[in-house]
Amino acid sequence: MIPVDGFKGETVAVLGLGRSGLTAARALQAGGAKVIVWDDGAQGRAAAEAEGFDVRDLTKPGALEGAVTLVTSPGIPHLYPAPHLAIRAAWDAGVAVDNDIGLFFRSLGHDAPRTVCITGSNGKSTTSALLHHVLTSAGRTAHLAGNIGRGVLDLDMPGPDDVVVLELSSYQTELARSLTPDICVFTNLSPDHLDRHGGHGGYFAAKRRLFAEGGPDRAVIGVDEDEGRFLAGQLQEAPVDDRVIRVSTAKLDGPGWNVTAKKGWLAETRKGRQVASVDLRDIAGLPGRHNHQNACAAWGAARALGLSPRDIESGLRSYPGLPHRSQLIAERGGVRFVNDSKATNVDAAAQALQAFTGIRWICGGLQKEGGLDGLKPHLGHVARAYVIGREAAAFALDLGGAVETEICTDMATAVARAAEDAQPGEVVLLAPAAASFDQYDSFEKRGDDFAARIAALD
SS3 84: coil
136 among annotated binding-site residues: no
Q: Is 99 labeled as ligand-binding?
A: no
* Whether 221 contacts 246, CB under 8 Å: yes
Is 124 known as a binding-site position? yes
Q: Is 121 annotated as a binding residue?
A: yes
The answer to the question of whether 122 is labelled as a binding residue is yes
The answer to whether 297 and 222 have CB atoms below 8 angstroms apart is: yes
3-class state of residue 113 by DSSP? coil
C-beta atoms surrounding 370 within 10 Å:
15
The residues near 260 (Cβ < 8 Å, ≥ 6 apart) are: 247, 248, 249, 250, 251, 252, 266, 267, 269, 296
Judge if the upstream peptide bond of residue 81 is cis by omega within 30 degrees of 0: yes
**Helix extents (H) in 59-147:** 85-93, 100-106, 124-137
Say if residues 69 and 60 touch (Cβ distance below 8 Å).
Answer: no
295 contacts 266 by C-beta, under 8 angstroms? yes
Tell whether residue 125 is among the known ligand binding residues: yes
126 known ligand binder: yes
- Residue 272 Cα distances to 234, 239, 258, 266, 365, angstroms: 21, 11, 9, 15, 46
Q: Cα separation of 178 and 364, whole Å?
A: 39
Q: What Cα–Cα distance (Å) separates residue 398 from each residue in 133, 360, 361, 403?
A: 39, 18, 15, 11
| Cα separation, 24 vs 29, whole angstroms | 8
Question: In angstroms, rounded to a whole number, what is the distance separating the alpha carbons of residues 400 and 21?
Answer: 43
| Binding residue positions | 120-126
| Binding residue positions for ATP | 120-126
